[in-house]
């Protein structure tokens, strides 16, 4: 798998440091407030598992499975909810945990949906941000790292459901996804 990468953008140590820093900031912001962390499947699982270890406040977790890629490398803009939350979020403080924020169309749809359910507050934390790809008017309050406009895999991020198990994040060689 490593031979399919052009370069490694974030090492395991880089990711650990990001999770620690974000966890500390989120802990300060939600001190004494119970928090519901909503992971966006499947890509956020590894990041969510590592991040919440560093959030020192009462929290619970839930998941949504949402797709806008439908097997390709570009978001189609058409958002499908494959799995909705399993609990009521009315009057709760919600933190959406996402692996990567690119066009923002998926997250914009999710945030609009969740806000319509009467949440107390809603914020987004993303491990990676590609601001130059943004199509929707949305930003994450908590950002691990801004990255260039390259196709990245590893640490939950995939291409064709592969590469999620890499413990680091790298850029995929174009010839791999251009086949």
Catalytic residue numbers, as ranges: 102
Distance (Å, whole) CA 87 – CA 71: 29
β strands within the chain, DSSP E: 5-10, 35-41, 59-67, 80-83, 93-101, 121-129, 142-146, 152-153, 169-172
Using alpha carbons only, what angle is made at residue 27 by residues 125 and 128, rounded to the nearest 5 degrees? 20
- The answer to whether the CB of 128 falls within 8 A of the CB of 147 is yes
């Amino acid at each position: 798998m490593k031979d399919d990468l052009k370069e490694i953008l974030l090492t395991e140590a880089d990711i650990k440091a990001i999770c620690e820093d974000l966890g500390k900031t989120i802990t300060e912001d939600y001190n004494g407030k119970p928090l519901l962390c909503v992971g966006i499947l499947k890509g956020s699982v590894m990041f969510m598992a590592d991040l919440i270890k560093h959030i020192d406040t009462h929290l619970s977790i839930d998941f949504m499975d949402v797709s806008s890629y439908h097997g390709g490398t570009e978001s189609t803009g058409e958002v499908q909810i494959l799995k909705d939350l399993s609990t009521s979020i009315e009057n709760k403080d919600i933190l959406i945990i996402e692996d990567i924020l690119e066009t923002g169309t998926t997250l914009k749809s999710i945030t609009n949906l969740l806000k319509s359910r009467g949440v107390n507050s809603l914020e987004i934390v993303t491990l990676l941000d590609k601001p130059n790809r943004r199509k929707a008017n949305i930003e994450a309050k908590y950002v691990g790292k801004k990255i260039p406009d390259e196709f990245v895999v590893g640490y939950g991020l995939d291409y064709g459901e592969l590469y999620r198990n890499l413990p680091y994040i790298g850029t995929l060689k174009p010839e791999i996804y251009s086949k």
